[in-house]
Amino acid sequence: MSKALDLTLTDDPDQQNDVFVAAFNSGDGTIFDQLYRDDAISNLSGKPLNGAERKKAITEFLATNPRLNSKVQQTYRTGDTSLLIVEFHLEITGEDGTPAKIDGTCTDVLVRDENGKWIMAIDRPVADEPAA
């Protein structure tokens, strides 16, 4: 039996990052989508999506078994809003079946929900420009 993921986010940005990476690498879009507000915006698909469109895009993408590694670079917090700047490294399978790597920076905005827990409001990964 597999161990259930603890999706609880705290004020520790590194712990938050560990939760996101574990949920992402689970390959289960439903698990990963639990980290988002219902109205959260994510451009993980390359365009800003929310609601059912966001969940569908996340679920389809994670079903391809990408692997994420990331590190929090900067954090800013005011009241119930937190901004994380995260460096990410993503391993995917290209459309032709060959492995590919994408590096970039993600800007994440988290807010506290009505239960006082952190949850994703905006997820904006941006891939680095390829070297010339």
At 2 the pLDDT is: 47
Global pTM reads 0.89
What pLDDT band is residue 115 in, cutting at 50, 70 and 90? confident
User: What single string gives the DSSP state of each residue in the chain?
Assistant: -PPPP-----S-HHHHHHHHHHHHHTT-HHHHHTTEEEEEEE-TTSS-B-HHHHHHHHHHHHTT--EEEEEEEEEEEETTEEEEEEEEEEEEE-TTS-EEEEEEEEEEEEEE-TTS-EEEEEEEEEEPPPP-
Q: What angle do CA 111, 27, 2 make, to 5 degrees?
A: 100
Question: With 80 as the cut, is the pLDDT of residue 131 above it?
Answer: no
Longest dimension (CA), the chain: 48
**32-60: pLDDT as tens digits:** 999 999 999 999 888 999 999 999 999 99
What pLDDT band is residue 123 in, cutting at 50, 70 and 90? very high
